[in-house]
Amino acid sequence: MKAFAVAPAPHIHAGRSVTRVMGHVLLALLPGVAAQLLFFGPGLLLQLALCLAFAAAFEAAVLRLRGKPLLPHLADLSAAVTAVLLALCLPPLAPWWVALAGMAAALLLGKHAYGGLGHNPFNPAMVGLAAVLLCFPREMAQWLSPLAPLSLSPSELFDAVLRGVPPPTLDTLSSATPLDTLRSLAHEGRTLAEIRRTPLFGNVGGKGWEWIAAAYALGGGYLLWRRVIRWQVPLGVIGASLLVSLPFWLSDPDTHPSPLLHLVCGGLMLAAFFVATDPVTGATTPRGRLLFGAGVGVLTLAIRRWGGFPDGVAFAVLLMNLAAPLLDRVGPPRPYGHRRAGAAP
Amino acid sequence: MLLQPFHGGVRLPPHKPGDAAPAPQSLPLPPELVHPLPPPGASGACAVTVGQRVRRGEMLAAAADARGAAVHAGSSGTVTAIAPRPVGDGEATCVVIATDGRDDSAPLPPLADWRELPRERLLERLAVAGVVGLGGAAFPAAAKLAAPGTILILNGAECEPWLRSDEALLCHGAVEVLAAAQLLAHLCRATRVLLALESRMHGARAALQAALAAPGAGGVELVAVPTRYPVGSERQLIRVLTGQEVPSGGLPRDLDASVHNVASAVAAWRAIVHGEALTERLVTLGGRGVRGAGVYRVRLGTPVAHLVAHAGGYTDAAARLVLGGPMMGQAVAHDAVPVLASTQAVLVLGADELRAAAPERACIRCGDCAAVCPAQLLPQTLLAQLREGELEAAAQQGLSDCIECGACAWVCPAQIPLVQLYRDGKSALQVQEDERARAAQARARHLARAARLARDAAERVARVAARAPATAPAAAQPAATAPATPAAAATTAAAPMDKAAVLAAIARGRARRQAAAPAGREDAP
Amino acid sequence: MTATLLAAALLLGLVALGLGALARRAGADVDLAARIDAVLPQTQCGQCNYPGCRPYAEALARGEADIDQCPPGGDAGAHALARLLGRVPKPVNPAHGTPGPRVVALIDETTCIGCTKCIQACPVDAIVGAPKLMHTVIAAECTGCELCLPPCPVDCITLVPRAADAAAVPTRSTA
């Protein structure tokens, strides 16, 4: 007689794991990282290094405090994804304390205060981003001109980020983001056509930004192909943004940016494929996800148009995170063998 | 034929090389056969005694209730014990037969003219022969066939990985399957007969088509359904073939359909046409942990150890022994358990084939479980509700509609043992429902008692009033205080007796009796 | 603008207070008592200080009783009552008794004297017997309320754990 260990069915598994899922997300972010490095210089590498280091430190500290083993939990790579997403949203020359504050807010407030992975209602990367937007408005507004920072020397770069000393050539290097420009110039009364002719804008959207948006879309396509994300959230975000901005643009092309401009500027593409698709904080039913994505799109555009910030993605996502449980109750799927509510037998 | 999709499902690696299943191999008789008694498993229900000689097909015990079926001897020999033995992951009272190698049988009279016989006679034969479903659930066939159905579906869509028992039957016994189809169609009064196979079963399809071409055969539509687990589950199969859904809590007969596994059909046919009781079945042996993988013709009651030993024994990779398929099968602790009617396969899985022992993580609400659930449920919501102990909410979400196919657990990146949780939840729900039924019963009895006491009190008042008008006011007092509550009842009974005094009186009586009786005689209790 | 908002807020607040007062004034909701009774375990033991489950349910509906008075219902029962009535959940108050495993009464037939006092005490008529004849508890109907123990003059009734019900058939779908 031979003895065996027992376990409950099923005895086979697809081999998927949280680590693998997060790994795919990191892989899909690579084109976006590469495009941003190309246009805005190596500053992003420093931000990535800082964010990842702070992420590891905070995660390890909290796991220790909670008495949990370090390796299995760190290995789920969720903190790494949060770090990369936040680093992509920080200006390349932002001083190190911005990354620190952002990661602290993201992981301590946005994730571990609720019990860790799977228990947080708010997207951690967006909590971190919102926190630094509110606490460091000046540093966060200091973006660079596309292709300009290649003239920056490594020592100047290190000084800017690690010591907070801005480079002497900052005035020539820095510029606002295209959305910022749109907003301030529009307030000045310039028409859209005039704004579009300024050197900051390329053929489609902000110069450089259009390529970065395309890179995010490429990464998003990879995630869709690997079934890491499903089509409902990206379609919701992009579709709603297009649908909402179209009537405004058609009615007055001089004041309202075109739908395409909205799509490629700012973090909308990043949100559509990487941020709003966060499974833990979004809706979980297919219909709920569609509505969630649509809500993110609509709120982002609303904040861009009427709110106090040039880009509303962070706040839009956080607001929709609040609504996610309710969205799951809107039209849940009908179980097999049940009649649709109100239908005839 | 236009097929409908069913929601969800997963593509599993099949582990079924080649277009056709291998021909079933025979197995030498084991020295001992172990037959569990039908539920509830009381040894008093046994029709044989220890030491009795039995032949193959002889009835060992009749079915005690609607859940079970008659059990027959797998081969000729002597009954050596009727005792508890390990069965599956538990224990049951079994009839143990030491085989004599002669394999004498005791068949029932063949009913070759079944077309002329009344339905009841054929159904009775199936019950006597102990024919049960061979698709894994082992439900008595006679009970299932008692309800007629316009559409008869023969389920050959064996969708679990490794399992090829039904496929082997279709490839190498196609003629029998078609004959069985005609018999079942007659029993069900079906006007349409569909035989479903998976689209990957090319060999089986060819064999069936060849058999259909023969004169006399016919009336059976071959349908290839997409190879997607769990298309072989009867609810999903009905959806694919007819576009209709079996109502929640209902059965296929509610849709005027009847679904039977192909092996069950052949067993029914053998019972009627050849008078054979159910004593053997085809079992797939597979997995990296065993040599000689293939399909074997195994007598029911054969110990799994015998099957494995004959096939070539275990390999060094053997890590888990599973009775059934890898998705829904039961892991057992040792191989000294018998093959039953529900044992479609014996899998000895190697460590690399098993679900990786990865750490279970918190649910990340990815929703992939809902995407693959064939019952169209929200497993992630059920998980949250069951973890919080919200049984009612889970029941409302459709917990009892879960078919426990395991697709959700297969796909879960957080490695959560979802099916185990749902099974526990269903048991807890059942316990809760039982408690509620008991409470309702207690409430009914309490109300009935209150009514009885009120009625008695009223009758007492009436009696006293009718007897003597002078004593009416005094006698009305106790009637007015007719107790309707337990506390009141206790107090209106006679005044509480002095317990010490009563116990002392009993002791005195006992002592007196002992003194009167001759020494040594016991007090009658 | 501000004035309008303040006025609207004040008005709504008044309406809310009014509705709340009206709801509190209304007598015990009969339907509510029935719904509460459906959740109670029907042991009819009186440990809640009410003569039976229905009187307790009615007291709860009137707002006179608290949700932690029923030991046979256990903490789960108290929780269910809290959910039903919209109150803060709390565990069973030990002053009323401690929740424990289900028990049934067992009469020691060698000692029973056939006095029928326990039969009269049982709130669900779960004891079978007649004067001077043997008394027996029908285990399936006994709720474990323990009301038969005090009246017995010979202390022949004990409480034993309730036997598990017939093994449930494991729930598996018909494949």
Instruction: Return the number of CB contacts < 8 Å for B and C.
Output: 109
Tell me what percent of the residues of chain B surpass a pLDDT of 90: 72
- Candidates B364, B372, B396, B421: best to mutate against A (most CBs of A within 10 A) is B364
The pTM of this model reads 0.82
Contacts of B375 (CB under 8 A, 6+ apart): A335, A336, A337, B8, B235, B398, B401, B402, B403
Q: Give the whole-angstrom CA distance, residue C136 versus residue C157.
A: 10
What pLDDT, on the 0 to 100 scale, is given for residue A250? 87
- Candidates A1, A4, A74: best to mutate against B (most CBs of B within 10 A) is A4
Number of structural domains (chain C) is 2
CB C48 within 8 A of CB C65: yes
Q: Give the whole-angstrom CA distance, residue B237 versus residue B220.
A: 17
CB A288 within 8 A of CB A243: no
User: Least CA distance to B398: which residue of chain A?
Assistant: A335
Do C80 and C110 fall within a single domain? no
For B208-250, how does the pLDDT look when each residue is reduced to its tens digit (9 = 90+)?
Answer: 999 999 887 778 999 999 999 999 999 999 999 999 999 998 9
Task: Establish if C172 touches chain B: CB-CB under 8 angstroms.
Answer: yes
CB A30 within 8 A of CB A88: no
Over 80: is that where the pLDDT of B286 sits?
Answer: yes
- Tell me, yes or no, whether A27 lies in a domain: yes
User: Least CA distance to C49: which residue of chain B?
Assistant: B487
Mean pLDDT in residue range B494-517? 72
Of A31, A28, A168, A161, residue with least CA distance to A99: A161
What pLDDT, on the 0 to 100 scale, is given for residue B490? 41
Handedness of CA B218, B224, B230, B234 (dihedral sign): negative
Question: Burial, A163: exposed, middle or buried (Cβ in 10 Å; 0-12, 13-18, 19+)?
Answer: exposed
- Tell me, yes or no, whether C36 lies in a domain: yes
Q: Give the whole-angstrom CA distance, residue A77 versus residue B501.
A: 79
- Tell me, yes or no, whether A338 lies in a domain: no
Do C41 and C81 fall within a single domain? yes
Contact residues, B window 27-86, toward A, CB-based 8 Å cutoff: none
Mean pLDDT in residue range A94-115? 94
Do C123 and C146 fall within a single domain? yes
Domain holding C153: CATH number? 3.30.70.20
How far B167 CA sits from the closest chain C CA (Å)? 16
Q: Do B406 and A9 touch (CB under 8 A)?
A: yes
Q: Give the whole-angstrom CA distance, residue B33 versus residue B57.
A: 13
User: Least CA distance to B366: which residue of chain A?
Assistant: A279
Whole-angstrom Cα Rg for chain A: 22
How far B19 CA sits from the closest chain A CA (Å)? 23
Q: Give the whole-angstrom CA distance, residue C81 versus residue C60.
A: 9
CB B390 within 8 A of CB B439: no
- Candidates B446, B453, B481, B506: best to mutate against C (most CBs of C within 10 A) is B446
Tell me the pLDDT band of B520, cut-offs 50, 70 and 90: very low
CB A113 within 8 A of CB A131: no
User: Least CA distance to B331: which residue of chain A?
Assistant: A6
Mean pLDDT in residue range A193-207? 67
How far B129 CA sits from the closest chain A CA (Å)? 32
Do C49 and C107 fall within a single domain? no
Q: Do B449 and C125 touch (CB under 8 A)?
A: yes
Contact residues, B window 175-234, toward A, CB-based 8 Å cutoff: none
In three-state secondary structure terms, B314 is strand
Domain boundary, last residue among C78, C99, C120: C99
Domain region containing A158: 18-175
Q: How many CA atoms are closer than 13 Å to the CA of C28, on its beta-carbon side?
A: 18
Do C111 and C84 fall within a single domain? no
Question: Burial, A177: exposed, middle or buried (Cβ in 10 Å; 0-12, 13-18, 19+)?
Answer: buried
**Residue holding tokens 């039961």?**
B330
Contact residues, B window 369-388, toward A, CB-based 8 Å cutoff: 370-371, 374-378, 380-381
For B111-145, how does the pLDDT look when each residue is reduced to its tens digit (9 = 90+)?
Answer: 989 999 999 999 999 999 999 999 988 889 988 88
What pLDDT, on the 0 to 100 scale, is given for residue C170? 36
Strand partners, B318: B350
Q: Among B40, B485, B496, whose Cβ lies nearest the Cβ of C166?
A: B40
Q: Give the whole-angstrom CA distance, residue B308 versus residue B283.
A: 11
Q: What is the DSSP string of A301-333?
A: HHHHHHSSSS--HHHHHHHHHHHHHHHHTSSPP
Instruction: Give percent helix, percent strand, percent coil of chain A, each to the nearest 5.
Output: 65, 0, 35
Q: Do B354 and A337 touch (CB under 8 A)?
A: no
Contacts of A217 (CB under 8 A, 6+ apart): A269, A273
What pLDDT, on the 0 to 100 scale, is given for residue C166? 39
User: Least CA distance to B422: which residue of chain C?
Assistant: C171
Contacts of C124 (CB under 8 A, 6+ apart): B442, B445, B446, B449, C44, C141, C142, C143, C145
Residues of B in contact with C84 (CB under 8 A): none
Q: Give the whole-angstrom CA distance, residue C73 versus residue C43.
A: 9
Chains touching B (3+ CB pairs < 8 Å): A, C
Task: Establish if C33 touches chain B: CB-CB under 8 angstroms.
Answer: no
Do C49 and C37 fall within a single domain? yes
Work out the end-to-end distance of chain B between its first and last CA atoms, rounded to an integer number of angstroms: 78
Chains touching A (3+ CB pairs < 8 Å): B
How far B400 CA sits from the closest chain C CA (Å)? 9
Over 90: is that where the pLDDT of B26 sits?
Answer: yes
Helices marked H in chain C — which ranges?
Answer: 2-25, 30-39, 53-62, 74-85, 117-121
ipTM of the complex: 0.85
Q: Give the whole-angstrom CA distance, residue A21 versus residue A32.
A: 18
How far C111 CA sits from the closest chain B CA (Å)? 9
What pLDDT, on the 0 to 100 scale, is given for residue A43? 86
Over 60: is that where the pLDDT of B521 sits?
Answer: no
Over 90: is that where the pLDDT of B265 sits?
Answer: yes
Domain holding C70: CATH number? 1.10.15.40
The pair of three-digit structure tokens given for residue B374, joined into one six-digit string:
């064939």
User: Least CA distance to A328: which residue of chain B?
Assistant: B381
- Tell me, yes or no, whether C77 lies in a domain: yes
- Candidates A336, A338, A339, A340: best to mutate against B (most CBs of B within 10 A) is A336
What pLDDT, on the 0 to 100 scale, is given for residue A267? 85
Chains touching C (3+ CB pairs < 8 Å): B
Contact residues, B window 234-273, toward A, CB-based 8 Å cutoff: 235, 239, 245-250
Q: Among C41, C51, C125, whose Cβ lies nearest the Cβ of B439?
A: C41
Of B328, B190, B174, residue with least CA distance to B253: B190
What pLDDT, on the 0 to 100 scale, is given for residue A204? 61
Q: Among B234, B448, B497, whose Cβ lies nearest the Cβ of C175?
A: B234
- Tell me, yes or no, whether A132 lies in a domain: yes
SS (H, E, C) B405-472: CCHHHHHCCCCCCHHHHHHHHHHHHHHHHHHHHHHHHHHHHHHHHHHHHHHHHHHHHHHHHHHCCCCH
Q: Do B353 and A12 touch (CB under 8 A)?
A: yes
Task: Establish if B336 touches chain A: CB-CB under 8 angstroms.
Answer: yes
Over 60: is that where the pLDDT of B199 sits?
Answer: yes
Do C105 and C142 fall within a single domain? yes
Domain boundary, last residue among C42, C66, C99: C99
By DSSP bridging, strand B90-99 and strand B32-36 are: antiparallel
Q: Do A335 and B401 touch (CB under 8 A)?
A: yes
Least confident window among A220-234, A245-259, B473-487, C54-68: B473-487
C to A contact (≥3 Cβ pairs closer than 8 Å)? no
What pLDDT, on the 0 to 100 scale, is given for residue C164? 62
Do C105 and C75 fall within a single domain? no
The pair of three-digit structure tokens given for residue C32, joined into one six-digit string:
């509510």
CB B198 within 8 A of CB B227: yes
CB A160 within 8 A of CB A95: yes
Do C123 and C153 fall within a single domain? yes
By DSSP bridging, strand B53-54 and strand B77-87 are: antiparallel
Q: Give the whole-angstrom CA distance, residue C85 versus residue C77.
A: 12
Number of structural domains (chain A) is 1
Q: Do C123 and B486 touch (CB under 8 A)?
A: yes
What pLDDT, on the 0 to 100 scale, is given for residue A259? 86
Tell me the pLDDT band of A341, cut-offs 50, 70 and 90: low
For A11-49, how does the pLDDT look when each residue is reduced to its tens digit (9 = 90+)?
Answer: 999 988 899 999 999 999 999 999 999 888 888 999 999
Map out the domains of chain B with their CATH numbers: 112-309 (3.40.50.11540), 363-465 (no CATH)
Residues of A in contact with B315 (CB under 8 A): none
Q: Do C44 and B487 touch (CB under 8 A)?
A: no
What pLDDT, on the 0 to 100 scale, is given for residue C175? 29
Tell me the pLDDT band of B485, cut-offs 50, 70 and 90: very low
Tell me the pLDDT band of B486, cut-offs 50, 70 and 90: very low
Task: Establish if C151 touches chain B: CB-CB under 8 angstroms.
Answer: yes
Do C36 and C65 fall within a single domain? yes
Residues of A in contact with B336 (CB under 8 A): 1
What Å distances lie between residue A329 and A284, A288, B417, B418, CA to CA? 10, 8, 25, 22
Over 60: is that where the pLDDT of C174 sits?
Answer: no
Indicate the angle between helix axes A43-65 and A96-103, nearest 10 degrees. Answer: 40
Amino acid at B332: V
How far B47 CA sits from the closest chain C CA (Å)? 23
CB B317 within 8 A of CB B289: yes
Over 90: is that where the pLDDT of A263 sits?
Answer: no
For C44-95, how does the pLDDT look when each residue is reduced to its tens digit (9 = 90+)?
Answer: 888 999 988 999 999 998 889 999 999 998 888 898 899 888 888 888 988 8
Strand partners, A3: B334
If one counts every other C-beta atom within 10 angstroms of the C-beta of residue B132, the result is 28
Tell me the pLDDT band of B476, cut-offs 50, 70 and 90: very low
Task: Establish if C119 touches chain B: CB-CB under 8 angstroms.
Answer: no
Task: Establish if B396 touches chain A: CB-CB under 8 angstroms.
Answer: no
Domain boundary, last residue among C99, C124, C155: C99
Domain region containing C51: 26-99
Do C92 and C137 fall within a single domain? no
Do C129 and C141 fall within a single domain? yes
